[in-house]
A and B are shown apart, each in its own frame.
Chain A
Amino acid sequence: MQVGLTSYLIVAALLFCLGLYGVLTRRNAVAILMGIELMLNAANINLVAFNRFVAPAAVAGQVFALVIITLAACEAAVGLALVMAAYRSLETIQVDEINLMKW
């Protein structure tokens, strides 16, 4: 059985929605970060699948996916560093408890 473009897009869309759901419902900053990683991976699956099925002549999609993987790694590094710094002074990483500033 041939796996077509649509199957990949459905998986990616599901992954994206799961990630977004995690970002919107989780209260732990690290869990939110994991949701964001899921969303980035959804974009990656899209890019690689489109590269294979829509524009197989060039590898732009695969290069784009590699760039996003690198960015995700940088983002995790910076994000976890910020979470660490926040934990040291605020002693929590639950985002609903980080609320010194409100309107």
Chain B
Amino acid sequence: MNLASLQADLWTVAPELWLLGVGLLTLLLDLVVPAGRKAAVGLTAVVGLVLALIPTSSMVLWQPRTVLFGTYAVDGFAVFLKIIAIVTTILVILSATDSMGRQTRFEGEFYALLVFTALGLMLMAASTDLILLALSIEYVSLTSYVLAGFLKGNPKSNEAGIKYFLFGATASAVMFYGFSLVYGLTGTTNLYQIAQRLSAAPVPALYLAVALMLAGFGFKISMVPFHQWTPDVYEGAPTPVAAFLSVGSKAAGFAALVRVLVVTLDPSRVNWVLLIAVLSAASMTLGNLLALPQRNIKRMLAYSSISHAGFLLIGVAAFRGDFGTPGVLVYLLGYTFTQLGAFFVATLIGSQLGTDEIPDYAGLARRAPVLALLMAVFMLSLTGLPPTSVFLGKFYVLAAAIDNGLLWLAVVGIINSVISLYYYAGVIRAMYIMPAASEAPLAEPAGLQVALGVTGLGTLIMGIYPQPLIDLARSAAVLLRL
């Protein structure tokens, strides 16, 4: 590797380097911008992130290859997930500009941390080396722990931070032990070389390594049985952070999981498809059943995010054929818009009414008709009713399951969709049927309005006119393989 090719490689990580610059600039700006105007720091970060979208999206159709000594993939799959990470961060910062300023005096640092986390998510999506993968997963985890416990004076936020940390650090340690076993079985840390050498590895040791690694990935995507932290962290963390964790970390976790399973483990003799299918069914069912009795909107969305992780795992288990991997991408994008939108409504209600309880959403249809309508759309989308974005995702992963001969898993998925209608419809019932406690209209801050508009439009457009997105996901579903 000579200097010229290293320079060429550096161009392929231009978006990451740019985000690093944006993050540092945000930190510096925070020093000079006086208190009370910190929203300007957030807006600068948003502009930087929007600019990062341009070089990133230009990479979608690049020839798949690895750069930087084979440690970093440039393929459509990674680029698609990088775009999801950036869009998520932009929307979360926009939604937080109003409420965070009133809750903490470290608002500027909050935006800087979000930008740095976005950088970590991008690294996670593209790592093709165990060392870089470990480093990026831990990087995202560390910033997420801080974000979850960001409100230092708030006992619930403290509890969320410490619980997230203890669960996450344990899961990471278990995963690193699994990585060390994989390294020992193959003598290399490069995922592609591991794939070549795994067929000679003893199968029982390989199962142990896979199980240990799944602990780390399962924690990131809140898969059963590594889901216990999810409701407590989502409830205690600031609502924009909960939105970010439920979408950003999950998408990047899926990126790493799919890359390790499909690229690296598929050539070996480990029957991971059945394992993932069972975990998928368990996540969907348990998440749904525990969501049924919830009264707190953030806890309800946390349990529903566990069940959505189960749906996404259907797409991972059914990766063969034309539907699995594009299905995961379509599902992730649709889920990003819808879940973020639902959390943004919760942010607004939380900051205006000071409550996260679903019964307090009573009469929202009269107090804020547009908001209530959007929330109803998000709830129907999370259920998976057409014409919305999550319907499209569910359609794809269920088709993939049937295509791969996992009919039982598709049936479990459909039954779970029906069950989930109960608790999503409960929110709509509260907003439209229950009488309002007061008739005063709600104030809607500008940043939140923009974020809600984008998520609402995204949810509906993906459901009504999905063809461009499907084409994009199909061409992006090129996972660099050997």
| A residues adjacent to B (C-beta < 8 A) | 9, 12, 16, 19-20, 23, 29, 32-33, 36, 39-40, 42-44, 46-47, 49-50, 54-55, 58, 60-61, 63-64, 67-68, 71, 74-75, 78-79, 81-83, 85-86, 88-90, 95, 98-101, 103
Contacts and interface: CB of A to CB of B under 8 A. Distances in A.
B176 A40 contact: yes
Given A46-B181, A50-B183, A89 B173 contact: no
Given A39-B170, A75-B142, A82 B158 contact: yes
Contacts of B463: none
19 contacts: A19-B173, A29-B166, A43-B176, A43-B179, A47-B180, A49-B184, A50-B184, A61-B183, A64-B131, A74-B142, A78-B165, A79-B145, A82-B162, A85-B158, A95-B163, A98-B163, A101-B160, A103-B231, A103-B299
Contact of A50 (B153, B160, B187): B187
B165 A100 contact: no
B169 A79 contact: yes
Nearest to B138: A71
A55 B185 CA distance: 10
Interface in B164-211: 165-166, 169-170, 172-174, 176-177, 179-181, 183-184, 187-189
A64 B166 contact: no
B176 A60 contact: no
Interface in B119-177: 130-131, 134-135, 138, 142, 145-146, 149, 152-156, 158-163, 165-166, 169-170, 172-174, 176-177
A80 B281 CA distance: 37
B413 interface: no
A54 B189 CA distance: 12
Given A60-B188, A85-B152, A23 B138 contact: no
B180 A89 contact: no
Nearest to A93: B162
Contacts of A67: 131, 134-135
B434 interface: no
Contacts of B172: 71, 75
A67 B165 CA distance: 19
B166 A43 contact: no
Contact of B173 (A9, A40, A81): A40
B131 A90 contact: no
A54 B184 contact: yes
Contacts of A42: 177
Contacts of B165: 78-79, 82
B393 to A, nearest CB: 27
Contacts of A61: 180, 183, 189
B98 interface: no
B357 interface: no
Contacts of B162: 29, 82-83, 86, 95, 98
Interface of B, secondary structure class, is helix
A63 B131 contact: yes
A43 B232 CA distance: 29
B235 interface: yes
A72 B184 CA distance: 21
Contacts of A43: 173, 176-177, 179-180
A38 B159 CA distance: 24
Contact of A78 (B146, B159, B181): B146
Nearest to A5: B184
A46 B184 contact: yes
A16 B177 contact: yes
B368 interface: no
A90 B180 contact: no
A66 B284 CA distance: 39
Given A43-B177, A71-B172, A89-B158, 18 more contacts: A9-B184, A23-B170, A29-B166, A33-B166, A43-B176, A43-B179, A43-B180, A46-B183, A50-B183, A60-B131, A60-B189, A78-B165, A82-B162, A86-B162, A90-B159, A98-B159, A100-B155, A101-B156
Contacts of B294: 103
Contacts of B173: 19, 36, 39-40, 43
A-B pairs with lowest CB-CB distance, top 7: A55-B187, A50-B184, A39-B173, A46-B180, A43-B176, A86-B158, A43-B180
Contacts of A39: 170, 173-174, 176-177
A6 to B, nearest CB: 12
B236 interface: yes
B67 interface: no
A33 B169 contact: yes
Nearest to B158: A86
B385 interface: no
Given A39-B174, A75-B169, A85-B161, A47 B183 contact: yes
